[in-house]
Structure 1
Amino acid sequence: MIKDTSAQDTAITSKKRRLKPIVVGAAVLIAVALSAHAIITTETVSQSVDKSSLQIATVKRGELVRDIAATGRIVAANAPQVYSPEQGLATLLVRAGDTVEQDQIVAEVKSPELENNLQQEKSEALRLEGEFEQQKLETRRQTLLLNKQLDLAKVELQAAERENRRAHASIEGHLISQIDFEKAEDDLARARLNVAHAEQEVELAKDTLAFALQSAQSALNRQRFVVSELERKISNLAVTASVSGVVGNLLVAPKSVVSVNQPLMTLVDLSAYEAEVNVAESYANNIGIGMDVELTIGARKVIGTLSAISPEVTEREVTTRVRFSQDALSQIRQNQQISARILLENKDDVVKVRRGGFLDAGGFVAYKLDGDVARRIDIETGVTSMREVEILSGLQPGEQIIVSGYQKFQQAPSVLLR
């Protein structure tokens, strides 16, 4: 007979009782640690901010390019206007947007008054030309007459000399009286005087006739110049394009009466473009001709040169012109919007950080990261660019700061980043 199974039973210690003190101890330690961390955090951190909502940048050392941001548009470097050469009725031979070649006729101006003046001046030129030919004939006639008188005087001189020789021979032979001899002497003297005066009159008459002929020639030449000028003006009534390109704006209506030098249309030279960049008035004293400008045209970036600066301020902006090479560019359009960076200065080996909203606080303070805590420190900033700002003191390369705005920090000495 079996009494019971007590002889087979073995006493077993419960594991649950052994683990319970260990769990309780660990819980106590965790509670103590959390309490200590809460106490420390409460003493040093007054704000808590979500880290994902902040912008953080690393302080670096390198080159800083000081620049100015601006916007602008593409304009034609050469966009001349076409003017009416005379008063008259203008006929436009092209329309806005038409392609034209250099020296192509784009408009015609009809001026009846100018054509009438040309006919009158041509008639006057023909009259003066007739007078000039007549003056040449008169000069020849007068010259011939004077030469005749000179020749006759010379013949009379020869006769007088011959009579004088005969008188000398006769007086020696007592064949003539003294009175006849003296008369022969007087005739010779008179003949010599007549020849001398005739020669002088011929020289004077030649000069007079040459002057009259030259005056007639000058009057004719002047009239020919007048006719030539009127012909040039009439030929200019066919207005030609000064450049190859397209017709911009038509400034008058077709078949309208125009005055002298009145603009007719604008031509746009598509072979050369410039950038017209508007710079804020506050930066006007910092820019100068010859500075490099980085232009963003579509998806391309090109470097140009500042070529002109407007002397006046319009709507708190200064207008500048930038020249750039179009060799590597295509499909540039008039008035295409662009963005620009005017490069003012390059500084090497500077401590810098990415530009951000923290500069709104004046650039005197920053929040530097120390683990999960951002601590407020004093800094000193230098020159700024569109993308970066120079750090003069307070930070070292490799350190990280919050570059976004500090409005939510409420000037706290330290902020917990969660």
Structure 2
Amino acid sequence: MDSQIPQEIIDRRKRKRIVKFSSIGTAIIVLFIVLVSVLRSGIDASAISTAVADRGALEVSVTATGKVVPLFEEIIASPVASKVLEVYRKSGEQLQEGDTILRLDLAATNTDFERQRDELEMKRSKIEQQRSNAETQLSEMAMQIRIDSMRLRRAEVQLRNERYLDSIGASTADKIRQAELELAVQAMQYDQLKLKYANLQKNTAADLRVTELDYNIARKNFALATKTMGDAQVRAPRAATLTWVNDQIGSTVAQGAQLAIVSDLSRFRIEGEIADSYAEKVAPGNQAVVEIGSERLTGIVGNVVPAVANGLIKFSVILDQNDNPKLRSGLKADVFIINSVKDDVVRIPNRSYYRGPGRYELWGIADGVARKRSVELGESSYEYVEVVKGLEPGETVIVSDMSRFKNEAKLKIRN
């Protein structure tokens, strides 16, 4: 028969169990607190990117945005108001120089062209007729001058004869005066005719110049009309890709309206834009670095548009390797324009943490612990950022995003 366990033993066993469970619970709580503390104040080394500050040259640059565009792109505009009759090519097709892209209705334009050609021929004929008439008039007047010259010499001879006869008593004073009067009249008529001849020469030359000027204007207009007729035959200006065409047959197009766009998709350039506050740092000839994904290309700044639109200025970058296979029309790119070089500066790699010159809270690493520290950063290049103060060469900093630890002062780096 079982005996009853004393109450004292039962109470002692209860106390042991309570102590045991309390110890286990306390250990679990302490372990939990330790784990939470470690998790809160530590970070895996594989989750961060670090860099070592060093000393070297810094190519100071400003950052702009850019887009890849074809090196050559030409918009073909309608030279006349017309309508589309036929379309021979589709967007995306390869073109050779001279290939016909589409045909316009040129009936009205051709009528105007024929009219201008007829007017030009009429003006040319008018010049020839005017020149012939002038030559005839001048020739007739020149002949009349020669005749009057002979009459003048005859009057001079008659006067000498009368004076001779008078000297021998065979003439009278009246006959001498009559001969002198006749000579004076002939001289005046001769001078008058020469003056008329000189004036006729000037007038006919002036009239001819006016007519020739009118003809030259008509000739230039006709040349322009001829060019317009040639341009109205919408052909590829060079070997390229047809990137767009107005394929709406029967649609009316105004003079100057776009008909097609042809592009050379084997070579490219960069069209960039930057805030106008950096205008003085962007000039033709500046070195530039273009980043497209992981690809980095070099080039120089070409044309800079002087006008400002919406607080931005536009510029182009001519690439050293404009046929790189990574280039595709329309791709976005980061453009770094180099405008000066600083030698022997403390620097760290340029990453997403950098937002311009100023004071930053960066994490320095030493003895497996990251500590927040105040660092003043200066100018930057596409690769590095200048450290003004707060870091020395050889020190290690975290360059990845640490915004989630903004309320921490130090972190343990877990390997």
- Shorter chain as normaliser: what TM range? 0.5 to 0.7
Rounded to whole Å, the distance in 2 between the matches of 1:93 and 1:138 is: 64
Contact 2:284 2:304 in 1 (8 A): yes
What is the CA-CA distance between 1:363 and the residue it aligns to?
3.7
Rounded to whole Å, the distance in 1 between the matches of 2:238 and 2:188 is: 68
What is the CA-CA distance between 1:257 and the residue it aligns to?
9.3
What is the CA-CA distance between 1:306 and the residue it aligns to?
3.9
Q: Does 2:88 correspond to 1:100?
A: no
User: Does 262-271 or 372-381 show the bigger shift?
Assistant: 262-271
TM-score normalized with structure 1 length: 0.67
Q: Does 2:208 correspond to 1:211?
A: no
Contact 2:301 2:315 in 1 (8 A): no
SS in 1 for 2:400: coil
Counterpart of 2:6 in structure 1 is: none
The amino acid of 2:152's aligned partner reads L
The amino acid of 1:146's aligned partner reads D
Contact 1:293 1:306 in 2 (8 A): no
Counterpart of 1:202 in structure 2 is: 190
Correspondence 1:87-236 to 2 at 5 A? 98-100=95-97, 109-110=109-110, 111=112, 112-167=114-169, 184-236=172-224
What is the CA-CA distance between 1:402 and the residue it aligns to?
1.5
Match of 1:48 among 24, 42, 52: 42
Rounded to whole Å, the distance in 2 between the matches of 1:141 and 1:285 is: 77
SS in 2 for 1:415: strand
Counterpart of 1:365 in structure 2 is: 361
User: Does 343-352 or 318-327 show the bigger shift?
Assistant: 318-327
TM-aligned CA distance change 1:263 to 1:132, over 3 Å: farther
Q: Does 2:346 correspond to 1:351?
A: yes
SS in 2 for 1:70: strand
The amino acid of 2:346's aligned partner reads V
Rounded to whole Å, the distance in 1 between the matches of 2:269 and 2:388 is: 38
Counterpart of 1:177 in structure 2 is: none
Rounded to whole Å, the distance in 2 between the matches of 1:195 and 1:332 is: 97
Correspondence 1:256-405 to 2 at 5 A? 262=256, 274-281=269-276, 283-295=278-290, 301-314=297-310, 317-324=312-319, 338-359=333-354, 363-405=359-401
Q: Does 2:407 correspond to 1:411?
A: yes
What is the CA-CA distance between 1:349 and the residue it aligns to?
0.9
What is the CA-CA distance between 1:272 and the residue it aligns to?
9.0
What is the CA-CA distance between 1:366 and the residue it aligns to?
1.9
Contact 1:81 1:264 in 2 (8 A): yes
Q: Deviations over 1:6-62 (max 9, x none)?
A: xxxxxxxxxxxxxxxxxxxxxxxxxxxxx9xx99x98x9972223321221111111
What is the CA-CA distance between 1:351 and the residue it aligns to?
0.8
Contact 2:68 2:328 in 1 (8 A): no
What is the CA-CA distance between 1:132 and the residue it aligns to?
1.6
Contact 2:75 2:258 in 1 (8 A): no
Match of 2:57 among 54, 63, 72: 63
Q: Deviations over 1:201-239 (max 9, x none)?
A: 313311212321342243234324433443443344332
User: Does 198-207 or 387-396 show the bigger shift?
Assistant: 198-207
TM-aligned CA distance change 1:385 to 1:263, over 3 Å: same
TM-aligned CA distance change 1:47 to 1:290, over 3 Å: same
Contact 2:305 2:314 in 1 (8 A): yes
Q: CA RMSD in A?
A: 4.5
What is the CA-CA distance between 1:81 and the residue it aligns to?
6.1
Rounded to whole Å, the distance in 1 between the matches of 2:153 and 2:250 is: 72
SS in 2 for 1:311: coil
The amino acid of 2:191's aligned partner reads E
Contact 1:47 1:412 in 2 (8 A): yes
Q: Deviations over 1:268-299 (max 9, x none)?
A: 69699653212245544533333211245896
Q: Deviations over 1:119-177 (max 9, x none)?
A: 4424533542342243134313422442243133123213312221222xx7xxxxxxx
TM-aligned CA distance change 1:324 to 1:142, over 3 Å: farther
Percent of counterpart pairs with the same letter?
18
Rounded to whole Å, the distance in 2 between the matches of 1:115 and 1:294 is: 55
What is the CA-CA distance between 1:377 and the residue it aligns to?
2.0
Contact 1:74 1:275 in 2 (8 A): yes
Rounded to whole Å, the distance in 2 between the matches of 1:218 and 1:94 is: 53
Structure 2: gaps (5+ residues): 1-29
SS in 1 for 2:190: helix
Q: Deviations over 1:235-254 (max 9, x none)?
A: 44332579755588778999
What is the CA-CA distance between 1:320 and the residue it aligns to?
0.7
Structure 1: gaps (5+ residues): 1-34, 171-180
The amino acid of 2:153's aligned partner reads D
TM-aligned CA distance change 1:56 to 1:291, over 3 Å: same
The amino acid of 2:316's aligned partner reads R
Contact 2:287 2:298 in 1 (8 A): no
The amino acid of 1:99's aligned partner reads Q
What is the CA-CA distance between 1:335 and the residue it aligns to?
5.9
Q: Deviations over 1:39-94 (max 9, x none)?
A: 9x98x99722233212211111111222224322234468486674x899999999
Rounded to whole Å, the distance in 2 between the matches of 1:193 and 1:344 is: 95
Larger radius of gyration: 1
